[in-house]
Amino acid sequence: MTKAKRITAGALALVTALAMASCGSSSDNASSTGSTAGAVDSSSMPEKKLEESQQDIVERLAGEMEVRELENNTIDWFCHWDINPTASADKDIGVDLSLFKSKYNGVIKWSQTTWETKFDDLAARIMAKDSPDFIPADDMDYFPRGAIKGMIQPIDDYIDFDSPLWADVKAANDKFRYKDGHYVAVSRVDPSYIWIYNKNVIEDNGLDDPAELFAKGEWNWKTFSDMCIEFTDAEADKFALDGWYYENALTESSGLPLIDMVDGQIVNNIDAPELEKAQNMMYDLQKNGVVYPKHEHDWKVRGDVFGTGIASGLTLFYPIGLWAIEDAPSVTEPYGDISAGEVMFVPVPCAADGDTMYVPSRVHGFCICAGAKNPEGVAAWLDCTRYAEIDEAAHQITIDQFKDDYGWTDEMLDMRETIYKAAAEHPVFEFAQGISTDLSSITDNVIKNAMNPAETKTWAQTVSENKNAIDFLLDEAQSKMN
């Protein structure tokens, strides 16, 4: 998400892991001021380049790629964050963008919007017949409503999802079909959340290292809950959890999202026993007061900056996206000194009695806007994103950037690979954000009620109060899709 705009209570700011590493800033640190979109010329900003040996890999890959004949090498990117890596002086450029530049002399023009106004701004541009070319799918909020409302167009005329280039993400792409077409080009499945912690804090509090528990198959809801309860000391201002994502992460770690899409049908899982089990665990956890009381601090996270409290020992876990630490050292400082081996992370804990590690997931992908002037140029960009994923040497560039420029340890890199592999095998996608604003405003509260520090509710109470309203909104949305 996000590359860290602040989020008001109840809002989800989602970002992708490698979009951060390969693209630049995210919704979380993008500007949220203003209400209209405007093009931003990034050509005057500092140009980011790869190392010479890395650029040689890109040039080799560019020579192997099938070329598309483009009339225009500039594509118009409509988003609340800039895909060009200009957010900070120590932020790297990714292989995908380097490849697009090398193969096509490609240019991505940023048309700036805000998180709050992006739908209205996009609709206004489409109505004015001045459509941008493409938008991110990473926030999981443009599909299916963007397809239903005619804001995005099918991609099948430009991308063959059965081709070898896209074969290993075909199942993920098929989740984003509307009627007879694909409306999202999924370049990669990303884990939505990880559990970040500081190893010094774990040791100082006499707790088991979560990464070691995970290696032994003992990282689960119970061991996680026990650690949270043992660590929390409200009088010392120590709370186990902070942030905006732990409720969603724990809910989806059950193996099911609240709102799913199956064979083109929208499914309400509110009555599923898996969700009930997860929410009851969350309710029991919250009764022990382990969550930083944002409601007592103007509904802001500690310090009003993500990660604050981890390095200082006041916060035990920070559930958030990988993007939070796939960034420049100047950004990741609140979590601790990465290069000194202080910072580590593990997957979202799952139920102890399950055989599968379900990974709350999202997609790193893109949508082509309705009325796009250069959809073929977007397709060329999409090719680059896939080649950057499947080529081992190109992938290694990203790994080397994490290690050499951001200070990542081998332990962190190994864990990252493990989580990505699990996300590809057992992803859990939450679709509530992509149905409608009315639905997401309800489901966000439903998911968070059990751990709301201001007003905790049992799952049975939450279901009885919200099931009918959710069913009504889903029936309304489904009728428009049929």
Alpha-helical (H) ranges within 65-164 are 95-104, 118-127, 145-148
pLDDT of residue 263: 81
* Average of per-residue pLDDT values in the chain: 88
pLDDT at 481: 81
- The continuous run of DSSP H or E covering 342 comes out as none
Cα 451 to Cα 441: distance, rounded to the nearest angstrom: 16
Of the candidates 392, 423, 221, which has an alpha carbon nearest to the alpha carbon of residue 321?
A: 423
Stretch 392-403: mean pLDDT: 86
- For residue 22, the model assigns a pLDDT of 36
Looking at residues 48-75, what average pLDDT do you find?
Answer: 86
Q: Which of the four pLDDT bands, split at 50, 70 and 90, describes residue 109?
A: very high
What is the mean pLDDT of the segment spanning 193-211? 98
Spatial contact of 310 and 198, defined as CB atoms under 8 Å apart: yes
Q: Are 332 and 324 in contact (CB under 8 A)?
A: yes
Report the CATH number of the 17-191+362-429 domain.
3.40.190.10
pLDDT, greater one: 86 or 146: 146
- Averaged pLDDT, 221-240: 98
Note the pLDDT tens digit of each residue in 246-294.
999 999 999 999 999 888 789 999 999 999 999 999 999 999 999 999 9
pLDDT at 191 over 90: yes
Of the listed ranges 2-11, 147-156, 180-189, 427-436, the one predicted with least confidence: 2-11
Provide mean pLDDT across the span 293-307: 96
Whether 204 has a pLDDT exceeding 80, the answer reads yes
Report the sign of the C-alpha dihedral through residues 26, 30, 34, 38, in that order.
negative
pLDDT (mean) for 175-182? 89
Q: How far is it, in rounded angstroms, from Cα 459 to Cα 466?
A: 11
Alpha-carbon span 276 to 414, nearest angstrom: 33
Q: What is the 3-state secondary structure (H, E, C) of 456-475?
A: CCCHHHHHHHHHHHHHHHHH
Lowest-confidence segment of 30-44, 119-133, 300-314 by average pLDDT: 30-44
Neighbours of 461 (CB within 10 A): 13
Which pair of structure tokens corresponds to residue 6?
Answer: 């602040």
The answer to whether 428 and 447 have CB atoms below 8 angstroms apart is no
Distances in Å between the alpha carbon of 456 and those of 168, 229, 239, 445? Answer: 42, 17, 17, 11
Angle subtended by helix axes 459-481 and 273-286, to nearest 10 = 140
Percent of the chain scoring above 70 in pLDDT: 88
pLDDT in the model for residue 15:
29
Q: With residue 107 as reference, give the H or E element that holds it.
A: strand 107-112
Residue 199 has pLDDT above 70, yes or no: yes
Tell me the whole-structure pTM to 2 decimals: 0.83
pLDDT of 178 over the 80 cut? yes
Q: Please check whether residue 402 is in contact with residue 21, taking contact to mean a CB–CB distance below 8 angstroms.
A: yes
Q: What are phi and psi of 311, to 5 degrees?
A: -65, -35
Contact predicate 368/155, CB 8 Å: yes
- On whether the 196-359 domain is CATH 1.10.10.10, my answer is no
364: left (phi over 0), alpha (psi -120 to 50) or beta: beta
Residues of CATH 3.40.190.10 domain(s) within the chain?
17-191+362-429, 196-359
What digits encode the pLDDT tens for the residues 342-365?
999 999 999 988 888 999 999 999
